Copies of this chain bind each other. A is one copy, B any other.
Amino acid sequence: MRPIDEVVKRIRRGKVFLISSHINLEGDSLGSELALAYILKRLRKKFFIYNMSGLPRNYRFLPLLDFLKIKRIKEFDTAIILDCSESNRLGEVKKMLTSDKVIINIDHHPDNNYFGTVNWVEPTASAVGELIYKLYKKLKIPLNRDVALCLYTAIMTDTGGFRNENTTSSTHRIIAHLLKYGFKPSSVFENVYEGHSLSRMKLLGLGFDNLKMDKKRKIAWMTISQEMLKKAKADLDDIEGFVEIIRSLKGVKLAILFQELSDNKIKIGFRSREGIDAGKLASIFGGGGHFAASGCIVEGKLEKVEKMVIDRIKKEL
């Protein structure tokens, strides 16, 4: 049986569902969760969505967000886990996946470790949103504007605005269909990527003051300290996208952002291109992710962590 057919079978059989996704929720995980929840609603199933991360500010515009408010039900029988390569990325939710539950694992990460009872993993899909779209087709559930907008957001964000290497002809065919439901792509972009504060730009300016480059190895990295945040009157949300901006610099193949979450906790983001495996690099420090985008959290003082990580990365490249 094809994985999608197995998923359909398990969905039809289940009575009460938990939907979840990885920590640090973003467009694909969130949009896919909401669109999937609508399927369950249409099938008259009981369900709730439970994530370890809250709703990021730039996704507050999404429709169907009321699904996030449905009360947690203890006695569910089936968990559908989206966009998650391994169950550790679920945080505390992992504990809920006891052996008596059916676990449906729907993902597009090539390094997915098949932790589910059923595993539908398509690494060629640009986003889990593409797979949920296929599920609508398969189940013959009609799309509507709200669902189309959620799926559009999922696919648009995970392809970096249709620009990443995962964007295919099939991605655009799906988007052509979704756009028929009459929402404005421009407004999705504005909500997700724009509406930047002046503080953000000031913070970016401070960041560029301390930008370091290793031109030989084509690495560039930046640190954002708590002090810089204060100086620019910015908050953690303002840092989103900085690491992509560093990668966009001429001659840079690996961009690293060190972000001081608290005095002793440093979040590190990696973005790469042209054959550098960012996921592998992050895994050295206990993190993970995709080939071109990954991250980890390391304990220690900002300067020490920066030196340690850069020294190690230089050895790797």
Contact = CB atoms under 8 A, between A and B. Distances in A.
Chain copies in complex: 2
B164 A186 contact: yes
B250 A195 contact: yes
A197 to B, nearest CB: 5
A176 interface: yes
A162 B185 contact: yes
A251 to B, nearest CB: 8
A312 interface: no
A71 interface: no
B163 A189 contact: yes
Interface string A156-173: 000001111101111111
Interface stretch (A7-15, A73-81, A93-101, A200-208): A200-208
A169 B161 contact: no
A143 to B, nearest CB: 13
A187 to B, nearest CB: 9
Interface in A208-242: 208-209, 211, 213
Contacts of A202: 208
A273 interface: yes
A169 B165 contact: no
B180 A169 contact: yes
Nearest to A246: B201
A186 B169 contact: no
B197 A250 contact: yes
A167 B175 CA distance: 11
Contacts of A163: 161, 185-186, 189
Minimum-distance CB pairs A-B, first 3? A172-B176, A205-B205, A163-B189
21 contacts: A161-B161, A161-B162, A163-B186, A163-B189, A164-B186, A165-B184, A167-B185, A168-B179, A171-B176, A172-B172, A173-B176, A176-B176, A194-B250, A195-B249, A197-B249, A198-B211, A198-B213, A201-B204, A201-B245, A202-B208, A205-B209
